Chains A and B, each alone.
Chain A
């Protein structure tokens, strides 16, 4: 999961001229201008507690791009980064990714016991499209691979149905890691030995790599959920979206936009699974709430 851990607007916390993050000093005004720019591009807002982290990451980018003042870097981002390459580098360093296999497993139980059977039952027999599941954000891939493994282990109909899993994230570096499918002991600690043996190769040095068959069965695509132009490509395309622990880092408007985007990306009757501390009801009235034995899930109306 791409945990972009930013919580609230910055309220002028640090005195101008400090440089305790190392490198160039970023003034309050410069920081506010940067914050405004980054928010408009990504919907992400930095909290007060993140100032040191943000200053450090910005300084990494000043150094990498040869800019000698924060203002010149921001000008470059705004006016000269026409292909958005530097913006993507910046997004990559500003997002923090931390997750593990089978995180919040009860939702995977809900998937195989309730969501998939309902989706299959509601489909007209002539509908031969694959069932599509979107892991968004997928970070370094633990969630989409967990979805695949959990279904392969626990959903008897998995052999009978076409199921397509797509993993997306705003951060292209984590997507490359997801595609590589290489993990450490901590990431796989909640998987049984049998599951590890079936779906991973190991070098024996605390490194676990997803087997090639499984790696090649999942699509990884860069997506910014709040970029309407990008999201248009995914209209009416998914049956289930796992969007866990992302909305909590957005402000009200970005959350609302993300809810609109997920609504449009779902097929009628499709489901959204949010993180355990998140609630769609506080964001949007677009979705109904469904209480299944294992989890609360949000559903796009069928008509």
Chain B
């Protein structure tokens, strides 16, 4: 039989990478993440930080200047695992990133963190940057959280930017219920000269009409 059976080698863990339980691990891991020329070492450091919530802020800060995609992915996964207030805020800070891939990854990560993202996304709805408000809405659309629909109705009623409102329309079309139709129609009434608003609201109202009230 030509197939080989080779004994599994004992753990060959790279001992430059300390385990999370080791004392001083956060600082050492962050230093590796920030300075190692090896993407594999930076990636390993990022993954080992998952049990260390104190690292969330620094981990998120590194995301913006990390060049290797596999390290960026590891950072995002670890922040999802940490799932703290600092992790959510650190991820949301990339709503303004020039890099579409990073923005998309951040939106998906915040959705995966789930309900903990909701209050911070609500805060971001008050940002002066319409793009940031739109990304906050994109996240909210993927959250199963009781306050989301109310926040989206608030956007429809008050946000001065039509595109932000349209993002809320799109989100409510996905997660809204029949009771949201009035807020949707009121939004259309705020922009009577914009045919696309009327069109989007009509579609959203059709979608929510079949959804029972909560």
Name the interface residues of B66-114: CB closer than 8 Å to any CB of A: 69-70, 73-74, 77, 80-81, 101, 105, 112
**How many A-B contacts are there with CB distance less than 8 Å?**
76
Output the nearest chain B residue to A286 by Cβ-Cβ distance.
B73
Give the A interface residue count (CB, 8 A). Answer: 35
* CB-defined contacts of A217 to chain B, threshold 8 Å: 1, 3-5
Given A228-B50, A233-B8, A235-B12: A159 in contact with B2 (beta carbons within 8 A): yes
Q: Pick the contact of B1 from A213, A219, A264, A301 — CB < 8 Å?
A: A213
Q: Contacts A260-B73, A260-B77, A284-B73 hold; do A235 and B13 have CB atoms under 8 A apart?
A: yes
Q: Mark B1-35, 1 if CB is under 8 A from A, else 0.
A: 11111111011111000000000000000000000
Which residues on the A side are within 8 Å of B81 (C-beta)?
253, 257
Is B47 at the interface (CB under 8 A from chain A)?
yes
Interface size on B, residues (CB 8 A): 27
| Interface status of A130 (Cβ within 8 A of chain B) | yes
Question: Chain B's nearest CB lies how many Å from the CB of A138?
Answer: 14
Chain B nearest CB, measured from A167 CB (Å) = 11
Given contacts A221-B8, A235-B12, A257-B77, contact A286 B70 (CB under 8 A): yes
Q: Taking A217-B1, A233-B8, A256-B77 as contacts, is the C-beta distance between A285 and B13 under 8 angstroms?
A: no
B2 engages A256 (CB within 8 Å): no
Q: Which of A163, A235, A284, A286 contacts B3 (CB 8 A)?
A: A163
Bound state CA distance, A70 and B14, in angstroms?
Answer: 42
Among A232, A235, A263, A301, find the residue whose CB has the most chain B CB atoms closer than 10 A: A232
Bound Cα distance from A216 to B47, whole angstroms = 35
Q: Which residue of A lies closest to B83 (CB)?
A: A253
CA distance A256 to B77 in the complex (A): 7
Annotate B115-154 by CB proximity to A: 1 below 8 A, 0 otherwise.
0000000000000000000000000000000000000000
On chain A, the residues within 8 Å of B44 by CB distance are 264
A301 to B73: give the CA distance in the assembly, Å: 14
Q: Is A166 at the interface (CB under 8 A from chain B)? A: yes
- Interfacial chain A residues near B73, Cβ < 8 Å: 260, 284-286
| B47/A164 in contact, CB under 8 A | no
**Residue in A163, A228, A233, A257 whose CB lies within 8 Å of B4:** A163
B80 touches A253 (CB 8 A): yes
Which are the 4 A-B pairs with shortest beta-carbon distances?
A: A213-B1, A217-B3, A162-B4, A233-B11
Q: Spell out B's residues near A (CB within 8 Å).
A: 1-8, 10-14, 43-44, 47, 50, 69-70, 73-74, 77, 80-81, 101, 105, 112
